[in-house]
Structure 1
């Protein structure tokens, strides 16, 4: 049975919004569960449906895309955000990717390519429109390495200390099910099959520092 990817589309240009929804509705395996025309509506729908993917404009009114990204991160939601924009701005793309955006896609991208980008993002990889890569050379190495969220790094850090799922859940204020979800994401993104290898890979990529965490543990 094919896994269904749930999607929310957010854009303040009605023709673009309605056209994209119609195109997505024809794709097997995708389910558009809602649409919005400003930032506040977008966050409300994300919290209501917790979709897999949000395709959203960068410059809508209401809550900014930066605050939406940070809110999704703070709430440990599974949603991955992809910016669809005409703003060909490498600095803006870098800023958003660094705080948790999964993709920065220019609106001149072909629809078939957008579908491929959605699949790529669903595997935990980030995407930037090729025309922006030249201006992003200083951070391409960062983008190509495994992209763990702050919460996923927190979970890995707790595992380094030897904490159980129950203790991690208690310390981070989340459920044990959510701990397992984040750990599963870590294994997938780091392309490993167990926690020990995940820690090794995370250290190799500079995502966590075992020596620092051990020092913290010894000192309470």
Structure 2
């Protein structure tokens, strides 16, 4: 029996998901949570095999919750189920340790398959998400920053926002975010502060 926890801040979504799993003999919904903090509390009290995790929630989002869940229960599998498939959302969830990443428009049969596959330790990705990750793998993830990436990083170090950096460099705010994703990967950093700190450590900023 697969013990499943549903985590979503919308009660109607949780109700719909619970109904989808009700007829399944091998899956038992053992709990529901409206945010990441509630999910962490439940998993700390009782064993859960698979957590169906939304990303954007109040109090504690899905990425932070995933990271914390895997600290307290490493054997638990986290399957992200969200409406968001941007590069940043996908990369942050995968880096946090999510086993899979599905979108909420997935058919019920695909969702059931994903839960079972996650329980077996297999990775399950929506096609659009797989494409994003393949694109990231094909890009250089280590080594020297490009001139543009250095320009963005210097502005970040000066405390500028993404919007301000975009205006100064005459590029879009989306381009700034993409450059930051590449910078984080190359510097093995999780956020702006750690990227700046690592850049100073490597002598990239002076």
User: What is the TM-score of this pair, normalised by structure 2?
Assistant: 0.62
2:27 to 20, 26, 30: 30
Q: Does 1:17 align with 2:9?
A: no
Residues paired across the two proteins, number? 138
1:93 maps to 2:90 = yes
Paired residues of 1:50 and 1:77 also in contact (CA < 8 A) = no
Q: Does the residue aligned with 1:8 lie in a helix, a strand or coil?
A: strand
| Deviation digits for residues 46-98 of structure 1 (CA, Å, limit 9, x no counterpart) | 11122000112111111222222222222243211111100121332122112
How has the CA–CA distance of structure 1 residues 140 and 111 changed in structure 2, closer, same or farther, with 3 Å as cutoff? farther
- Match of 1:161? none
Among 47, 53, 56, the alignment partner of 1:56 is 53
RMSD value, Cα: 1.7
Corresponding position of 2:39: 42
Task: State the partner residue of 1:134.
Answer: 131
Moved over 4 A (4+): none
Rg bigger for which structure? 2
- SS class of match (2:5): strand
1:33 Cα shift? 0.6
TM-score, with length taken from structure 1? 0.58
Paired with 2:25 and 2:87, the residues of 1 have a C-alpha distance of: 33
Displacement of 1:127 in angstroms is: 1.6
Q: Distance in 2 between matches of 1:137 and 1:116?
A: 22
Q: Which runs of 5+ in 2 are unaligned?
A: 139-206
Q: SS of 2:60's equivalent? A: coil
Aligned-partner Cα distance in 2 for 1:17–1:130:
24
Aligned runs of 1:61-100 on 2, under 5 Å?
A: 61-100=58-97
SS of alignment partner, residue 67 of structure 1: helix
3-state SS of paired residue (1:35): strand
Residue 194 of structure 2 aligns with which residue? none
Residues 156-195 of structure 1: matches in 2 within 5 Å?
none
